[in-house]
Copies of this chain bind each other. A is one copy, B any other.
Amino acid sequence: MGERLKGLLEPRSVAVVGASPKERSIAGTILRNLQGCGYVGKLYPVNPRYDEIFGLPCVGTIDDLPPDVDLAILAINRNVVLEAVEACGRSGIRNLVIITAGFKESGDEGAKLENQLREMIERYQLNVVGPNCMGIIHSSDRMKLNASFSRWFPPGGEIAFISQSGSIGETLLECFEDAGLGVSRFVNLGNRAGLTENDFLPHFAQDDQCRAIFLYLESFSDPREFRRLAADIVKTKPVVVLKVGRTEAGAAAVASHTGSLASSDAIVDAFLRQSGALRVTTIEETLTALRALERGVLPEGNRVAILTNAGGAGIIAADACISHDLQVPSVSNRLRERLADFLPPEAGFGNPVDMIATASSEHYEKALDLMLDESDAAIVIFRPPLVFHEPVEAVSAGVLRVAEKRPNKPVLVCTLSDGETVAPLVAPLRDAGIPTYAMPETTVAAHSILCRVRDLRKQGEWVPAERLDAHGGAEAVLERVRRAGRMGLFFDEGAELLSAYGISVCPHAYITNGSEGVRFLSEVGSPVVLKIDFPDLAHRFEQGAVITGIETPQALGEAIRRLHSVIDSLALDGTRLLAQKMISGRELIFGLEQDPSFGPAVMFGIGGTLVEVLKDVAFGLSPISEIQAEQMIRSIRAFPLLEAFRGQPAVALGPLVQIITAISQIGADFPQIVELDLNPMIADEHGAMAVDILIRLAAE
């Protein structure tokens, strides 16, 4: 697959169709960028109106181009784009970057044009970036190529950057440069009529010059393929995604901006987590994340040692650690004694260890070495004090010696300044891949990202749940419902389908008369509940269609009579009465919906009104591994309610994991199930049983 895009990303020669001698035009800028960036291949401006542009001889038309052209950049009027693409196809130019705007993003006419373009791409099997894009950049030892009108050309580095938006792409290239982040690849996807992010991911995954992949996206072109690719890539390289349109207002803007359908944000969160990709939400967080990931050492645990010569900064760092769920364990007594051997009594010996302003580079080196014994990572805060009897780089040297001895423990350095005083301290650290930051809270945010990337690596690991061979039995049920012309399932049909996937249902029976009822009552024991089983009946409690807490045959007889009169009054002819054993335990909610972009989505939550108000639920997208299912369960805020609590034993998590993976499989096996709601399921220390089952099928 690397081969397929080689001509696009590393072309031997490039034609700029529509090249112009106007310096400040887009077409002129592209040619100037190609000339000025250090590109060593051949350049052909194509424009019948000029003999030469910027000293390069002009070619009249695409048909006149020599056969060695690997890549054509189209910076021409919208009306002639299709013609030019056709000409490229005919001439055997397979790789195109279409800069021209005015396609899908600009209304019906543009959308029509884009469809024609897609057909042509298909017909000639072209690799097309765009239309409506800024171009592509390659800046490595192998090649310098600025096939874009970006004003920023990165000096090279280890980040591959794929951006859906041009303006944000250019903005970030500028930010990356200011932050000292190296970018070797930049692709602005634009409208993605041809190539998408998924085409570039495998290429950058195999590229030795790329250590991290960053994507700015407003929508995913093919989420399932993205997940398949990312889950594999993150085993060796972090994938960082700034997916915007998180909120309703943002999503509305996305829709008008790119014509893409935005998806519910909780689902996107779940999707990226399951892909093993790190989701960032702001440009600041993007910069922090990429700088932290440059070196790539991920900590084993969450224990952080904080070492400082400025007390207040240590406190800010400790505060930030706790808000990021990192641990700042106090140093042990043994360690405290060893620190006291060389630190003054005025020092603070907790964690942070505040070595006060008199700390020397030797103090830093010794204390860091000792503290790493008891932690998984260290944050070293050093602000050069007014009186410091050494060159500041002595501190870096000590830190580097310790870091070298402990290659699996990340050390991050905070200098409380990015001014000249600390420059000699920062330079050797950066060269050695130790991330440095000015502010303590940013240092901690960076470390928290290392921990998240470590956890995501596990989330992305694909250990599929055992696949159930339930398809046959479930299919028979759905076929019966379909033939009956219904969209909702009766309880027994739902129970049969769930049972085929190993999901337990509470003891139940249909009751036509008192004596059947008494038999059920004696079999399962009291109390029982009696309800009218009618799939399309909304608000069943309010309608009086459910009677709970039935303890005696007399009460049961009375309940049967009352429900029959409800059936009569609501004209629910032919419906049956369902008796269920009332079981006690903790109420859970499981659900399934089919997301138009992301496919089957499983929801999990704890029952009750407060959860409803707080929207404390977790989503997972099919397929869901057991690790991912357990992560869903543990991620809800109310999770402590499932643990041993007020004398009740902890709910068994294993069965809940099985239910989630089974529902995920149901959603994948039967896309026609548009809605599935198990609300509530009752769980205890042994397992969980469905009490209410709502399943609805799509209209045919």
Contact = CB atoms under 8 A, between A and B. Distances in A.
A218 interface: yes
A586 to B, nearest CB: 10
A391 to B, nearest CB: 13
A386 interface: yes
Contacts of A418: 178
A257 to B, nearest CB: 4
A311 B328 CA distance: 41
B383 A319 contact: no
A330 interface: yes
A436 interface: no
Contact of A314 (B248, B253, B345): B253
Contacts of A253: 311, 314-315, 318, 348, 350-352, 354
Nearest to A24: B387
Contacts of A101: 346
Interface stretch (A89-97, A278-286, A362-370, A398-406): A278-286
Given A253-B352, A614-B614, 20 more contacts: A101-B346, A149-B386, A164-B312, A165-B311, A167-B310, A171-B416, A174-B419, A175-B438, A178-B419, A218-B312, A245-B319, A249-B321, A250-B318, A250-B319, A252-B350, A253-B318, A254-B315, A256-B348, A257-B314, A282-B320
Interface of A: 24-26, 29, 101-102, 105-107, 149, 151, 164-165, 167-168, 170-171, 174-175, 178, 216, 218, 244-250, 252-254, 256-258, 281-284, 309-316, 318-323, 328, 330, 345-346, 348-352, 354, 357, 383, 385-387, 416-419, 421, 438-442, 606, 608-611, 613-614, 637-638, 640-641, 645-646
Contacts of A439: 282-284
Contacts of A250: 315-316, 318-319, 322
Contact of A313 (B168, B357, B640): B168
9 contacts: A26-B387, A101-B346, A167-B309, A247-B318, A250-B322, A252-B350, A253-B351, A257-B311, A284-B439
Contacts of A645: 609, 613
A319 B244 contact: yes
B351 A106 contact: no
A320 to B, nearest CB: 7
Contacts of A283: 316, 439-441
B252 A330 contact: yes
Q: Considering the complex of A and B, which 7 residue pairs feature the smallest CB-CB distances, nearest first? A: A167-B310, A247-B322, A165-B312, A256-B348, A168-B312, A250-B319, A249-B328
A330 to B, nearest CB: 7
Contacts of A244: 312, 315-316, 319
Contacts of A167: 309-313, 357, 383, 385, 416
A246 B253 CA distance: 37
Contact of A247 (B281, B323, B385): B323
A249 B312 contact: no
A106 B257 CA distance: 61
A218 B310 contact: no
Contacts of A102: 346
A319 B25 contact: no
Contacts of A178: 418-419
Q: In this complex, which of A167, A345, A611, A645 has the most chain B Cβ atoms within 10 angstroms of its Cβ?
A: A167
A107 B345 contact: yes
A96 to B, nearest CB: 21
Contacts of A151: 386, 421
A315 B640 contact: no
Contacts of A646: 609
Nearest to A320: B282
Q: In this complex, which of A216, A250, A315, A611 has the most chain B Cβ atoms within 10 angstroms of its Cβ?
A: A315
A314 B283 CA distance: 13
A346 B257 contact: no
A546 to B, nearest CB: 15
Contact of A611 (B168, B315, B610): B610
A589 B313 CA distance: 38
Contacts of A314: 253, 257
A418 B175 CA distance: 9
B106 A249 contact: no
A247 B442 CA distance: 17
Contact of A348 (B164, B257, B354): B257
A404 to B, nearest CB: 28
Contacts of A322: 246-250
Nearest to A109: B345
Contacts of A284: 284, 439, 441-442
Contacts of A323: 246-247
A472 to B, nearest CB: 41
A441 B288 CA distance: 14
Contacts of A168: 310, 312-313, 316
A315 B265 CA distance: 14
A151 B386 CA distance: 8
A55 to B, nearest CB: 22
Contact of A386 (B26, B216, B352, B611): B26
